[in-house]
Amino acid sequence: MLRTSLIAITRLAALSCGLAAPALAESENDRVVDYLSGLQSHFERVTAHEDIVGFAAAVIEAGEPIFVYTHGETAAGSGREVSETTLFRAASVSKTFTGTLFALLEAEGQLDLEAPVPTEVMDLQGERSPTIAEVLSHRTGLPPNAYDNMLEAGREVGFIRDRLSGVDLICPVGGCYTYQNIAFSSVEVLAEDATGQSYDELLTRELFDRIGLPSASLGASGLTAAEDWAAPHRGWRRTTNQAGDPGTYYDRTPSAAGVNLSLNDMIVWAQAQLGTRDGLPADVRARAHQRLTPTRRETRRLGELRERVSATWYGLGWRVYDWGERTLVMHSGYLSGYGAQIVLEPETGFAFVALWNSDNRPAWSLWPAVMDLRTGQGDGDRWVRRFLEDD
């Protein structure tokens, strides 16, 4: 039987990091320690589900990990255990890297995010072109996920982007939120023109290397070049778990969905966004985490979670949730056979990060369960139970 690995650090006072982390009062410290036992039971219930193949997650408080959990296999039946160094597809969590990269390029004076996207890069209907910031925050006015189906059918990105000029907008440019992949990836051309580097080279140098991500890479080729990587297991109603090919047509849009990360990478990325690790100036983080557009469709989609989340927004490649009086900065990622989650509360130095390599619903229950436990709003059971029952 494969092991489940758990590291729970219960003395926050003993933690240290390179930069000052938000301080916790003694009572807050005790409460954080208390919620770990309840959290562990939820993780064990979720990972016991037959649709879970491999899973890795961590909880950070005051800028440092207090709970690190890995479970299962990199490929069903292989006997290769998931660890903190196992590489997964991060899917749309890639957008958090893109938004942060563009905030960094703006801070360095290489790009103006309020400048319009040139029509030779992307020509849309409407009275004006969207700005770079509007593209990064999904305010193009295009229908949601415009022409993703053409990408999934194997058409080239340039060909598809040219076809966007014939798509009727559902609102004026800048007037509403509609999630995109093809339009979002147009920013790759702008970054390359501004810096003279390919997008892959730029992302690697400006973020992976700058922050010190241990194993981050791009595309299926980057994934399979690693010694330790997780294969996808596809099908929401499958009856057997069989490893599949990690390749995807979304590798042609690296800014939208191309990044690969291990749990260790996710922890470092979260710390950089919290400001407890060197690499990202405060103004860059603030720019990326801005509330640029309300995402009412996202709020409605939350269903019962609207009892906790009153409003949602989108910034530069990041979602922003109002959890009561708390502000959460976050993003989810999904590619067939993979899932990813990052949730931050910058004010307290909290983060929850997770990666998995199978289509399943239970894993999505853990972030609200963590939030309920740490805020004292519940024991988290309702969210885990709901997702287990829905599966």
Task: Indicate if the pLDDT at residue 24 is higher than 60.
Answer: no
Over residues 295-315, mean pLDDT: 96
Q: How far apart are CA 145 and CA 253, in angstroms?
A: 13
pLDDT at 258: 98
pLDDT > 90: what percent of the chain?
88
pLDDT at 13: 33
- Does residue 217 lie in a domain region? no
Q: Which residue has the higher pLDDT, 21 or 79?
A: 79
- Does residue 276 lie in a domain region? no
Over residues 279-296, mean pLDDT: 97
pLDDT > 70: what percent of the chain?
91
**pLDDT classification of 107: cutoffs 50, 70, 90:** very high
**Mean pLDDT for all residues in the chain:** 92
pLDDT at 350: 96
pLDDT at 30: 55
pLDDT at 10: 43
- Reference 316, options 129, 85, 97; nearest CA is 97
- Does residue 147 lie in a domain region? yes
Q: Which structural domain range is residue 123 located in?
A: 100-195
pLDDT at 246: 97
**pLDDT classification of 12: cutoffs 50, 70, 90:** very low
- Does residue 111 lie in a domain region? yes
- Does residue 209 lie in a domain region? no
- Does residue 143 lie in a domain region? yes
pLDDT at 16: 33
**pLDDT classification of 388: cutoffs 50, 70, 90:** confident
Strand partners for 70 = 5, 56
Place of tokens 């879970």: 52
42, 52 Cβ separation under 8 angstroms:
no
pLDDT at 387: 86
Q: Which residues, 6 or more positions from 107, have their beta carbon under 8 angstroms from its beta carbon?
A: 281, 283, 284, 287
pLDDT at 120: 97
Q: How far apart are CA 386 and CA 391, in angstroms?
A: 9
- Does residue 250 lie in a domain region? no
Name the token pair of 359.
């289509």
- Does residue 146 lie in a domain region? yes
Name the token pair of 345.
């509360």
Q: How far apart are CA 349 and CA 212, in angstroms?
A: 19
Strand partners for 88 = 261
Over residues 315-321, mean pLDDT: 98
- Collect contacts of 221-229 with beta carbons under 8 A, ≥24 apart: 222/260, 223/87, 223/89, 223/260, 226/87, 226/260, 228/74, 228/80, 228/83, 228/85, 228/86, 228/87, 228/262, 229/74, 229/86, 229/87, 229/88, 229/260
pLDDT in tens, 333-356: 999 999 999 999 999 999 999 999
Find the range with the poorest average confidence among 22-36, 101-115, 169-183, 270-284. 22-36
pLDDT at 4: 65
Q: Output the pTM of the full model.
A: 0.94
Q: What share of the chain is helix, strand, coil (3-state, %, to 5)?
A: 40, 20, 40
pLDDT in tens, 28-52: 555 555 788 789 999 999 999 999 9
pLDDT at 15: 36
Over residues 299-312, mean pLDDT: 96
Domain count of the chain? 1
Strand partners for 55 = 71, 356
Core vs surface per residue 141-161: b (16+ CB within 10 A) or e:
bbeeebbbebbeeebebeebb
Dihedral angle of Cα 23, 25, 30, 34, to the nearest 10 degrees: -60
